[in-house]
Each structure stands twice: as structure tokens, then as C-alpha cells.
Amino acid sequence: MKKSLLGSFIGISILLTLESLSRVIIALYMKQDILMFSYSNYPGILWPLLLTAIAGFSSFFGAMFALTYGRKKQLFTLITFLLLVILFRYSQIHILYETESISYPITSLILSLIALFLAWKVIRKPDKNSELYKDQPEKDDFEPTSYHEEHPPH
């Protein structure tokens, strides 16, 4: 349980680090102030879309770390990381609600949830039932068979 909590908090810190680093790089490139939560205060459409895409990727990388580090209790790690991501994205939406359009933060929330689901699919432990099927040889459906093998004479 300790590793699950620690992995979730480190995953959130990875998310925050990647997003902050991307915002700093964009601000230095554009020679503007660093906007730590804003999306649409950057000029043009490219930068808000790039920040939204980076939000999805950073959530994926944070979730991958959290689920890998808390491998013993993956469901608890998933729920903890999910709650932390929702808390972060909702607070971002709440901060930006009065100052700009919330379409980018909501898209970031949706992309973060999709990235978390994809990381869960990649990292999830296989079921014990699926190991039973690994030992059985796969039947090739495209093997040529004759008509007489499928339909023996009566």
C-alpha cells in the first residue's frame, strides 16, 4: 500500500514536471511570461493544442510509472492516481473558469483519463485464466482441408 501511494504521488509529480517543463520551453521560445495553468493566453492555435496533447502524454507517462512502481496492488494504485489526476485537472478547470475558455482544460482532463486507461491496459497483470490458454496450441483457421475430411461418408 505504501508503494502504491508513493508511486501515485511520484506519477503526479512526473505529470507536473513534464507539463511545467513544456510550459517553460514554450514561454522561453515565445519570449513571454510563464503561464503555469493557462492554455489560450498563448498566441495562435498551435500552442494550446500542443499543451493539451502534452497533458495527455504526461498523464500516460505518470500513470505508467505509478502502475509499474505499485505493481503489487495495481487497482489501489490506479484508483489513487485517478483521484489525484481528477483533482489536479478539476482544480485547473476551476482556476481557469473565469479567465478563459475551459475547452482546453476539459480536453486535457479527457485525454488524461484516456491515457490512464491506456496505461492500465498496457501494465495490467494478466489474469490467471489466460495462462491456461497459452499452453494450448493455436489452431490455424486457414489450413487447407479437403471436403472428405470435413464431411466423412455415411
- Rounded to an integer, what distance in angstroms lies between the CA atom of residue 23 and that of residue 66? 23
List helix spans (H) across the chain.
2-30, 46-69, 74-96, 103-123, 128-134, 147-150
Phi, psi of 8 (to 5 degrees): -65, -40
What is the domain range of residue 120?
2-124
Q: What's the confidence (pLDDT) of residue 116?
A: 95
Domain membership flag for residue 59: yes
Domain membership flag for residue 38: yes
Domain membership flag for residue 41: yes
Domain membership flag for residue 17: yes
- Rounded to an integer, what distance in angstroms lies between the CA atom of residue 149 and that of residue 154? 12
- pLDDT averaged over consecutive 10-residue blocks of the chain (154 residues)? 91 94 91 84 87 95 93 90 95 90 91 95 74 54 60 68
Domain membership flag for residue 132: no
CA distances from 6 to 3, 68, 107, 124 (A): 5, 11, 27, 18
CB of 37 within 8 A of CB of 95?
A: yes
HSE-CB for 5 with a 13 A CA cutoff: 2
